């Protein structure tokens, strides 16, 4: 049964995308090795939900979350060293 207040599919992937953006920004300005992997996991979940439901707003927020996560990755020397890019960036 549907009424005018029925929102239909409530899973859009926007909320995980916003959470991933917040975690990525925390990873950029504080402890990257804790928050950046968490942001990547939440962004992955949000991207899958948004792509599965074809919600363009959710996809856009999750793309922003991935960009912030990559910035957090490249600004964290510890994560770069773990991935093996530490010597290349010390150059």
pLDDT in tens, 37-47: 999 999 999 99
Looking at residue 72, what is its pLDDT?
A: 93
70 inside domain: yes
What is the tens place of the pLDDT at every residue in 18-34? 999 999 999 999 999 99
* pTM for this model (two decimals): 0.81
4 inside domain: no
Task: Assess whether pLDDT exceeds 60 at residue 58.
Answer: yes
- In terms of C-beta density within 10 A (0-12 exposed, 13-18 middle, 19 or more buried), how is residue 24 classed? buried
Q: How many residues does the chain have?
A: 91
Which domain covers residue 49, as residue numbers? Answer: 14-90
Sign, CA dihedral 48-53-57-59, equals: positive
Secondary structure class of 76 (helix, strand, coil): coil
Number of domains in the chain: 1
């Amino acid at each position: 049964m549907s009424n005018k207040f029925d929102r239909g599919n409530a899973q859009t992937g926007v909320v995980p995308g916003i959470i991933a953006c917040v975690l990525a920004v925390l990873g950029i300005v504080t402890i990257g090795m804790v928050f950046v992997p968490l942001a990547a996991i939440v962004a992955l979940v949000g991207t899958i939900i948004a792509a599965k439901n074809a919600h363009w707003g959710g996809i856009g927020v999750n793309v922003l979350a991935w960009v912030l996560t990559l910035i957090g990755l490249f600004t964290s020397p510890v994560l770069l060293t773990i991935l093996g890019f530490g010597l290349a960036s010390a150059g």
